[in-house]
Structures are given as C-alpha cells and as structure tokens.
A = this chain, B = another copy of it.
Amino acid sequence: MRIDRARLPGFAAAGIDRCDQVRSDPEALAAAFADPQARRMRLDGLDPMTDGPELVREPIPAGARAADHVLLGKEADGSPLFVELRSGIPHGGAFAPRVWEAATELDARELALYGGARSLVDWHARHGFCAVCGGATMPAKGGWSRRCGGCGAEHFPRVDPVVIMLAEYQGRVLVGRQTRFPPRRYSALAGFIEPGETIEGAVARELYEEAGIEVTDIGYVMSQPWPFPSSLMIACTAQARDDRLTLDLTELEDAFWVDAAGVRAALDGEEDAPFKAPPTMAVARHLLLHWVERQG
C-alpha cells in the first residue's frame, strides 16, 4: 500500500519493523547480517540514492563487518536491512539540497526509512569519543548505542524535541521568517525544548521570546522526525491574548498575522498570496493545512 505523501509531513510515515530484540542479541544480529536476503541502504555521504520512488539497496558485500553497520530492521518481506557507518561525512545539520529533491521522488515510507538512517549515521560519525571521559567509543547493540572502551559508559543516539507552533488571534495566525529562508517564505515559529520544560511551556516561552505574545490553550496537532540532524518536531496551536508583536530580530527577520484566505492562497501557491508557504516535506505546511481546514 502506497501512502499519499501530500497527506503526511516528510519522514513521518510508519516504517519498518525495527526488531529491537535482535539488536541486543548477538547471535540473532549475526544471523540477520549473514542472511542471504540481507541488504544495506546505499548513501552518498549522508545523502539518499534513489531509483524512482525507492531507495537504492545493495547486497551486503563480502568481507563487510556487522559492527560497522546499523540494523534498521526487517522489511515487509522479512529481509534484514542495514546501513553502513562512515566517518568523515558532512555534518547532518548542514543544508541538504539532495534530500529536498529526493523528498519529491520517494515513496513516503522510503523517505521515512531514509530519515532515520540519516540521523543514525550522522550521530555515529560525530560520536567517536566518550563525553564522560574522552575515550574512544565503539558501536554496540546493532548500531543503536556506542560504548566507551575506557570508562564503559553507554551513549544513545540523540533525538532533540522541537516545538513548532501557530499562534492564533481572532481568525488569523502568526507566520514568521528567518533571514536564511528563500524569498517570501514564511513558516510557523519553532524552537528547541529545553531541560525542565513541558511541550506547552516551550511553546509559550518561544512565542514570548520571539514575538512578544502570551498564549493560552496550547493544543498538540502532530509530530514529525526531522533528520537535520535529529529533531522531533512537535506541532501545536495556541491562542494569543492579543495581536501586538515585539519581534526578536536576532531570531526572526519578520512576522505577521494572516487570515484564512491568505493561508489558503499561500497553500495553493497563488502568485498574489501574502507569503510563500513551506513545502510538503515540512510539518509547518501541514500545521497550516490543519488550521485552515478548521476555519469557516
């Protein structure tokens, strides 16, 4: 069954069986790696390699070592799928034009599978050393952790939760832009959740810090993994107490309130729309869709 990728943000489609029990079972892991049906996902550095709507897979080469791979899981036909760990690849937080291109080609499940693999390969490439003692670390548990050869500390891949939100005031929502955005592009405001915060606390803090508005009635809408390098986007709506803005110009270049007609025009890509909407891959577009579908 194919998933209509326009209905879901990128990287968010339900994916592969991750078979976590295999990761911690050395015999089962070795058997999966030796399985004649086993494949590995080919990457170009961190970038995807595609064949139409599918990612390129290859047989496990002779002489390859299980310890240099992450077990991504078992595919629908039962074949184990791995991805090779590499060093010296570009940082996964960097701008990745090939991914934005591939997002329009790949089946939604393939894009989600790629996103997880990208985050993991990048995390390994940037975690060769132990934060506790500075010693060298080695992949463990089928690539789902690293263990320090010095102090024995175990380190797990990061997932960094981020709030992304639309504040609403009397039938209009707040969109903003950063200087690095393409011309006329505006999006939902966003920021990392900090230690000691709830999702709701982070939404309120970010809207106050970036736009000077106070909000109530914060509601969760949807979530999305975002592999640049490893965020979990948590999309919310909130009600502003008033519409006066005090922008933090170190964070935002501009922001404004837009009504449902303006959001619809932007989503439809109309030339005279008040702004250019984010692409289908971005959860911000789906948050705008969610909001506008609920307007009169």
Contacts and interface: CB of A to CB of B under 8 A. Distances in A.
Interface string A104-144: 00000000110111011001001111111111110000001
A205 interface: yes
Given A159-B160, A159-B161, A227 B195 contact: yes
A195 B230 contact: yes
A248 interface: yes
A232 B137 CA distance: 26
Nearest to A231: B195
A10 to B, nearest CB: 11
Nearest to A158: B158
A214 B133 CA distance: 42
A225 interface: yes
A11 B195 contact: no
A181 interface: no
A224 B198 CA distance: 5
A12 interface: yes
Interface of A: 11-12, 14-15, 18, 20-21, 112-113, 115-117, 119-120, 123, 126-137, 144, 153, 155-161, 192-201, 204-205, 209, 220, 222-225, 227, 230, 232, 234, 248, 250
18 contacts: A14-B201, A21-B248, A116-B195, A120-B195, A123-B195, A127-B132, A129-B134, A134-B135, A157-B195, A158-B158, A158-B195, A159-B194, A193-B232, A195-B227, A195-B230, A197-B225, A197-B232, A199-B234
